[in-house]
A and B are shown apart, each in its own frame.
Chain A
Amino acid sequence: MGKRLAVFILLLSLVAFGAASAKSSKAKGHPEKMGTADCIECHVDVTPEAYQQWEQSAHGFTGVKCQVCHGDEKNFKKTPDQLTCIGCHDHEAENNTAPKVTCITCHKAHTFLTHKPGYTPTDVK
């Protein structure tokens, strides 16, 4: 059982590597069945660092949740394509000073901050 799990993880890693290396990312479907759950319900536990980074980002503040960029069970994309980014950031994409790379090369998922720290919210009085 342990051996089969290890092989599966290895295969999944290769798939992930492949997806990131591909010329354009393609819908592969979510690696896990999602049932009726919302993405965040699991990912708050399974990828807590990504969740926390997202929560403190502009996307987190404005409710741009996982599925907006990554799709969901059937159209899941580990790496969102450029068409997704330009949905809101068309102007920035057009004026990209480093046109040979995509948005996420510099704007790291899931913080997207490259140049300055964000406003740090505190518990409201």
Chain B
Amino acid sequence: MMNITRRNFIKASMAAAAAASVGVTLPKQVEAAEAVDKWVKGTCRFCGTGCGVYVGVKNGKLVAIKGNPDAKTNFGFLCVKGFLAYKCMYHPDRLKAPMIRQKDGKFKEVSWDAALNYVADRFKYFRQKYGKDSVAYYGSGQALTEETYTFNKLFKGGFRTNMVEGNPRLCMASAVAGYVSTFGSDEPVGSYADIEKSKCLFITGSNTSECHPVLFRRIMRHKLNNPDVKIIVCEPRKTSTTKIADLWLPVDPGTDLAVFNAMIKYILDNNLYDAKFMAENTRITNGKEVKSIEEYKEFLKDFTLEKVEKLTRCPAENIKKAAEWFAKSDATMSLWCMGLNQRVKGTWANNLIHNLHLITGQICKPGADSFSLTGQPNACGGVRETGALAHLLPGTKPVANDAWRAHVEKCWDIEPGTIDPKPGFHTMKMFDALGGEADSSKPIKAVLVCTTNPAQSLPNLHRYVKGMQDSFMVVLDIFPTRTTQLADVVLPAAFIYEKGGVYGCSERRSQLTEKAVEPVGQAKADIWIAAQLAKRMGMEKLIPWNGDDTMKMNEMAWDDYRNITKDTDHTFAGAPYSRLKKEKAGLQWPCPSVDKPGTVRRYVRGEDPMFEHAGFKAKFGHNFDPARKVNFYNDAKKEGKANIFMRPYAGAAEVPDADYPFYLTTGRVIEQWHTGTMTMRIPEIARAHSNAYVEIHPDDAKKAGITAGDMVEIASKRGKCVMPAHIVTGTLPGVLFVPWHDQAFIRMINFVCNDAVDEVSFEPEFKIAAVKIKKVSGPKNVAEKFIIRDINSKYS
């Protein structure tokens, strides 16, 4: 009754206010000019779109942000996170001093010298007692390129260990494996600019409207201006991305490989493929032998529309229409993200999307591309390109490659044989191997965690918490998190606009952020922390950028990286800081010299400078047939061809059964970023999706006796959560959805998620778990906007 009265009151008030404002002449534009002292160029801190920004500085503090209209990524537009969430840098919870956990379990503030000496001494102790691989690094696709490069160099070249991982293993590893296996080199062929040239967009495993909202704006605008452009969305949830779609391919989680194979079969059977493109530029293979189109057809014979409909719940008519639109359009572009990558068959799913493009020739031309969207702002530039994973070196090349290892050792001026040829442990194995000195089954005794929150973001968390608790864990972050709750040392890091550096986004574009303001408190740039640790461990020669000017340090690290990769297809030889400072939109690699503009489209003669790159040809022995316009020159067989892998059907690691009858899938919401450590500290954002919830189809809710708002327990074999029910019609019956940003223990859905990994990429299957649900109570208000605030709080 109170509520109705209040709402009626507000209605009356709004009506009166609206009437009052009719005819009012609005004010002249006056505020903007005086609001800031200067605007400083940078990049957005959040998703992988790579939006260009200007941050407004007044009296030495950031007070405003605006999109960079000259940026080729966002053309000036920002999303809710980009527009508001930078403000978190002045939140009172910012970590402002180094801290060491004491015997009583509480943290004590110490000087930087004391903290760094302590960490260096402990690292030396573990390395001496347990060997070089006992100290690991776990980084992030949100750290700057220079920071990640420096830690990678310190650990692989200094500590001689490949126990170097980063959270891109949890999000993009399958995309890397897909690109490398199909094309011989990581990252997309084309660019965002293909969106506006496309005639058909195939969006799968991506809720672009919420996870890449500014790119979705480009798609939306393209559709608005060209209603004939076809948009197909393939995924279990009828997300807000489908608002502009012409066709939805609903599929049960993990079954889309069958849909992709059915589309390929339909295209081949109905002669919708591009035989000339296939013959010149591709080879069909089962991984061992080259196969013919007829053999591929035979391989696909069971993927009939009718059979696939039964397996996936995707209507046969929709698959047929999608295949026709995909193949017949003048230019088709695919976009995907975690829905394909975070799967035990993520690499195969990526291969199959590439196959669709390769058999139809929908690649290497304007508007046609097989484009993986990146989740984090610097997963591509910072981690993939600098090779900061356990099996890689800078240039995204394997540590197991003798020639490349020797090249990197030469560039780093270290003794031949210093870098271990054996890959380190992938992320899940690394955290599984992490433990205390008392546990001889755990070979990794210490870990340095930089700019990420594994104690909330790993799947099947219960399995890994003890290792983090028992080991010696050093955490570099800006706020207290679930991970700092398990740490031994916490080092306060500077925010991106307090230090500057390079971020490289989904489209091979790296952009420089200038340092705009000084860090809060005693916070320091991560690159400074890395260099100071190196210095204390006698590795000053390896990491010579150990001054106090972070932009100078960044530039030295960037030049070091550019020197290693100058003759690769990842080259940024033409992108020194002096140029990046001037470029309003950054540069796309390959960019081999300062007179080159960067590359919009790879593998196409006249557009890709590697066709003419003498150093590249000499170093890797590539020959380019002058008669061919397209050349997938990273082909391991030196034929310039891409692989069309014959991939059979394989479902999820865990599928619903009598005991756990529902699929659970997880994801993001537009306002919240990852574990909510930044976005949940912005009041305007925190009230939007302030707690996790479970989306349930009305039919399932009715059967379980659940009504809207009821508290529901979601349980897998690994763990359980309790959260409110949202009854939604869009998701397929039998499929539940939970966002994963909530820090409240009872709603941390990663306790429930599956940690089974893809056998090629080692990326875990966050996206699919079998669960059961039950109502535990009626509605409760749990929108308490919970965040970890007390650095001494417990992990519970």
Contact = CB atoms under 8 A, between A and B. Distances in A.
B17 A78 contact: yes
Interface stretch (B212-220, B467-475, B537-545): B212-220
Contact of A83 (B26, B64, B75, B76): B64
Given A68-B83, A125-B246, A24 B30 contact: yes
B503 to A, nearest CB: 20
Contact of A88 (B13, B77, B210, B216): B77
Nearest to B224: A119
Contacts of A121: 243-244
B32 A61 contact: no
A81 B687 contact: no
A88 B29 contact: no
Interface in B1-59: 6-7, 9-14, 16-17, 19-21, 24-32, 35
Given A62-B213, A63-B670, A17 B78 contact: no
B32 A62 contact: no
A9 B20 CA distance: 11
Interface in B661-697: 670-671, 683-685, 687-690
Interface in B740-796: 781, 783-785
A9 B13 contact: yes
Contact of B209 (A9, A42, A63, A71): A63
A13 B19 contact: yes
B79 interface: yes
Interface in B236-278: 238, 240, 242-248
Q: Which of under 10, 10 to 19, 20 to 34, or 35 or more describes the interface residues of B? A: 35 or more
A114 interface: no
Contacts of A5: 9
Contacts of A96: 29
Interface string A90-125: 110100100111101100000000000011010011
Given A16-B17, A36-B690, A46 B223 contact: no
A82 B687 contact: no
Nearest to A46: B10
B127 interface: no
B244 A67 contact: no
A73 B29 CA distance: 25
A91 B54 CA distance: 13
A67 B688 contact: yes
B20 A13 contact: yes
B5 to A, nearest CB: 10
Contacts of A68: 80, 83-84, 684
B233 interface: yes
Contacts of B244: 61, 119, 121
A83 B35 contact: yes
Interface in A1-19: 5, 9-10, 12-14, 16-17
Contact of B16 (A12, A47, A74): A12
Nearest to B233: A124
A17 B26 CA distance: 11
Nearest to B84: A68
Contacts of B76: 88-91
B20 A16 contact: yes
B214 A62 contact: yes
B31 A62 contact: no
B21 A72 contact: no
B66 interface: yes
A76 B27 CA distance: 18
A88 B246 CA distance: 28
B494 interface: no
B388 interface: no
Interface in A28-67: 31-32, 34, 36-39, 42, 45-47, 58, 61-65, 67
Contacts of B221: 58
B383 to A, nearest CB: 27
Contact of A73 (B242, B247, B683, B690): B683
A63 B784 contact: no
Nearest to A118: B224
A118 B227 CA distance: 11
A67 B685 contact: yes
B72 to A, nearest CB: 13
B227 A88 contact: no
B67 interface: yes
B224 A64 contact: no
A82 B32 CA distance: 6
A90 B67 contact: yes
B69 interface: yes
Contact of B243 (A13, A37, A61): A61
Given A12-B13, A17-B24, A90 B683 contact: no
Interface in B52-95: 64-67, 69, 75-80, 83-84
Given A71-B684, A121-B244, A20 B66 contact: no
Contact of A21 (B24, B248, B684, B783): B24
Interface in B301-332: 318
A58 B14 CA distance: 23
A83 B30 CA distance: 9
A32 B10 contact: yes
Contact of A20 (B21, B245, B318, B781): B21
Nearest to A95: B69
The residue in A23, A71, A82 that gathers the most chain B C-beta atoms within 10 A of its C-beta is A82
B227 A124 contact: no
A36 B24 contact: no
By Cβ-Cβ distance, the 5 closest A-B pairs, closest first, are: A16-B17, A91-B69, A36-B783, A67-B684, A119-B224
Given A13-B20, A36-B783, 15 more contacts: A5-B9, A13-B13, A13-B16, A22-B27, A36-B785, A42-B7, A47-B14, A63-B209, A86-B66, A87-B83, A88-B77, A90-B76, A91-B69, A102-B29, A104-B26
6 contacts: A14-B20, A62-B79, A63-B671, A96-B29, A100-B28, A118-B224
